[in-house]
Chain A
Amino acid sequence: MIRFVIERFFGMFVTMFFVSIMVFIIMELPPGDYADRYAFRKFSGTGVTVTESDLDNIRAELGLDRPAYQRYFSWIGGILFRFDFGDAFAYETSVNNVLGQRLGLTLAILFSTLIITYLVAIPVGIYAAVHRHSAADYGLTIFSYLGLALPNFLLALILLYISVKYLGSSVGGLFSAEYQDAPWSIAKFVDLLKHLMVPAIVLAWSATAFQIQTVRATMSDEINKLSVTAARARGIPERRLLFKYPARLAINPVVSTMGFDVNRIFSELPIVALVLGLAELGELLIQSYLDLDMFVAGAILLLLTFIIVFMNFLSDIALSFLDPRIKLKG
């Protein structure tokens, strides 16, 4: 078991190494670099003629004149040894400063979304499978198809309206104005949860709808397994045997697609964040590409993929606990 975890852990680093190379290539792909952008911004409309040697000077100043592999190693080295993601040119500060709060918000939304999704989808899916073809089951099915069909931004607007109008919370951001700079307290935490609630529910809605169907389908299969009948024939109480046998395997596909859920949340987040006025990473990613601010873009891509790879690692470990048939080999 320990060996399995270590192997998977090591595998995660190998994956991240290749990911970092790909991210770096993606960073290099757009035509031009920040030097062009910088010169354009600074001198456009001033009548100054920018020569190629001016551009080279800017490049040298920004460290963009070195060959690609050198830049790769200094970039990745900075991240590994100093946790320094480089300079955010457009903001004239470090990437770490730019990302700081946005990363925190993105992670907070991500994890609250995942928690809501699993807390709702797993028990509801199991309930629907156990009470198959009942009114509750049909109701839940309709609800979950609605959840899949409703566009996120519409739901975001509706929930935003409700939360402002009836719950009296402020729009956008992580905290209300009075808590913005206040030290951590219970009240501040509650305020944070209030603000997280809307984006998390919006994002969890479709994921929950999808996972309810997954859990319901696997649970329905598992319930009819002979091993469940055999346990019933041993006189085990119905509820206990449902949780012990079929439910344990019914959450298998949910656990194994944890990485996919993260991926989906990341791709849906920017639209929702735009509607709700949240400063998260997706919007920054688009902006940094427009600015050719490549270290910001690279840092975001790297962090997002790292989270996905890490969630996959967690789901591998969780799966091997859930199902001993999964071979404990790397």
Chain B
Amino acid sequence: MMEWNVDTNEKEMGMATAVSNNKLLEVTDLGVTFKTDEGLVRAVDGISFTAHKGKTLGIVGESGSGKSVTAQSIMRLLPNSAMIDEDSSIAFYRDSGPIEITSLDNRSQKMRELRGGDIAMIFQEPMSSFSPVYTIGNQIMEAILQHRNVSKQEAREIAIDMLDKVGIANPAVRVDQYPFELSGGMRQRAMIAVALSTRPSLLIADEPTTALDVTIQAQILELMRGLKDEFDMSIIFITHDLGVIAQVAQEIVVMYLGKAMERGTAKDVLGNPQHPYTVSLLGAIPKLGTLGGRLTPVGGDIPSPLQRPSGCPFHTRCKQKIEGVCDVDPPGITRVSDTHTVYCYLYE
């Protein structure tokens, strides 16, 4: 079993904070609604989870499940058309005390310090996450100069050092190159270098390996795992790929249409899945050694977010749907064990 409350790598051991546990980021009842021309779209519908220090939290879900919107809410990078619910809370636990991110002004100094400073983010598309008209070094140094009190020359040295750390050969040359002179995998490495150059305590990785081919994907995952320990940080890893999540995450949130269907340690969710959605997702993954059997896809399509199903959002595709129950009222959250919760009537 994963141990939740054993503090192995607390950043500042001596700091006696009001928070006695090792929480780093606590999201409570996060709800996000988009105003669109077609009407209101409920992208995230009251989800809660906690990222712990030194751990990787995996958020897994299909496209449209609200996982990227969740990440953008934490960074406050949502477009103007999005509204975060009044009663949502995103608490970030700095050593100096907790900060409520939802109550910060989007453009305030404090929010900018958090963004890139305490919480860094990498994106799905390494091809377009760098601006093509500035060198890699310029964009790394920009982050360093913004958050660390160093001279330009020092920033450049840190940038070269970071490129070296993420496994880019010839960093002193690469630092002066433009993004289009680097391959996709190298660019994602460089993006990681940008993110980590400010020594954040939390890294949000939004599908960082989705656009890469499988061998590069494995290298990037390996790199991230190593750097997580070296930099003593936490990761929120967002992906639709359960195979990837199994390799990196210690805790998992399974999202569907803006709801957390199941939460628990990796062992809980992958080894002992409770929710019919999680079960069917796992059934759709090919396994080595069981050639011949057909994969069972999750039946049906994800409903339009404009017409959210009543009750449990998954009931339209669920094989174990209880008629007259699941499609009427939303289920409550049931505890399976201390670390494992599920959002389903089957366990109430």
Contact of B115 with A by CB under 8 A = yes
A233 near B130 with CB under 8 A, answer no
Residues of A within 8 A of B180 (CB): 325
Residues of A within 8 Å of B, CB-based: how many?
A: 22
B133 near A235 with CB under 8 A, answer no
Cα(A322)–Cα(B131), bound, Å: 12
Cα(A325)–Cα(B177), bound, Å: 11
Residues of A within 8 A of B132 (CB): 227, 323-325
A235 near B117 with CB under 8 A, answer yes
Task: Determine the residue in chain A with the shortest Cβ distance to B118.
Answer: A235
Cα(A234)–Cα(B118), bound, Å: 10
Contact of B77 with A by CB under 8 A = yes
For residue A18, give the distance in angstroms from its CB to the closest CB of chain B.
34
Task: Determine the residue in chain B with the shortest Cβ distance to A226.
Answer: B128
B131 near A237 with CB under 8 A, answer no
Residues of B within 8 A of A323 (CB): 132-133
Which listed residue, A228, A234, A248, A324, touches B146 by the CB 8 Å rule? A234
For residue B195, give the distance in angstroms from its CB to the closest CB of chain A.
8
Residues of B within 8 A of A236 (CB): 112, 116, 142-143, 146
A249 near B133 with CB under 8 A, answer yes
| Total cross-chain contacts (CB, 8 A) | 72
Which listed residue, B128, B142, B178, touches A234 by the CB 8 Å rule? B142
Contact of A28 with B by CB under 8 A = no
Residues of A within 8 A of B130 (CB): 227, 230
Cα(A238)–Cα(B77), bound, Å: 12
B123 near A230 with CB under 8 A, answer yes
Contact of A66 with B by CB under 8 A = no
Known contacts A227-B128, A249-B133, A325-B180, A233 near B115 by CB under 8 Å: yes
Which listed residue, B125, B128, B146, touches A235 by the CB 8 Å rule? B146
Contact of B147 with A by CB under 8 A = yes
A231 near B142 with CB under 8 A, answer yes
Known contacts A226-B128, A227-B128, A238-B107, A233 near B133 by CB under 8 Å: no
- Which B180-208 residues sit within 8 Å CB-CB of chain A? 180, 191, 194, 198
Contact of B100 with A by CB under 8 A = no
Q: A-side binding surface: helix, strand, loop or mixed?
A: helix
Cα(A234)–Cα(B129), bound, Å: 12
A225 near B128 with CB under 8 A, answer yes
Contact of B236 with A by CB under 8 A = no
Task: Determine the residue in chain A with the shortest Cβ distance to B143.
Answer: A234
Residues of B within 8 A of A324 (CB): 132-133, 178
A245 near B194 with CB under 8 A, answer no
Cα(A322)–Cα(B107), bound, Å: 28
- Mask, A59-73, CB within 8 Å of B = 1, is 000000000000000
Contact of A15 with B by CB under 8 A = no
Residues of B within 8 A of A235 (CB): 112-117, 143, 146-147
B77 near A229 with CB under 8 A, answer yes
For residue A328, give the distance in angstroms from its CB to the closest CB of chain B.
12
Contact of B121 with A by CB under 8 A = yes
Cα(A323)–Cα(B133), bound, Å: 5
A232 near B115 with CB under 8 A, answer yes
For residue A230, give the distance in angstroms from its CB to the closest CB of chain B.
4
A248 near B117 with CB under 8 A, answer no
Cα(A204)–Cα(B227), bound, Å: 56
Contact of B158 with A by CB under 8 A = no
- Mask, A213-232, CB within 8 Å of B = 1, is 00000000000011111111
For residue B34, give the distance in angstroms from its CB to the closest CB of chain A.
15
A325 near B133 with CB under 8 A, answer yes
Contact of B120 with A by CB under 8 A = yes
Cα(A228)–Cα(B128), bound, Å: 9
Contact of B75 with A by CB under 8 A = yes
Residues of B within 8 A of A229 (CB): 77, 123
Could you list 12 A-B pairs, sorted by A, with CB under 8 Å? A226-B128, A227-B129, A227-B131, A230-B129, A230-B130, A232-B77, A233-B75, A234-B198, A235-B112, A235-B117, A323-B132, A323-B133
6 nearest A-B pairs in the assembled complex, by CB-CB distance:
A235-B116, A234-B116, A227-B131, A235-B115, A234-B143, A235-B112
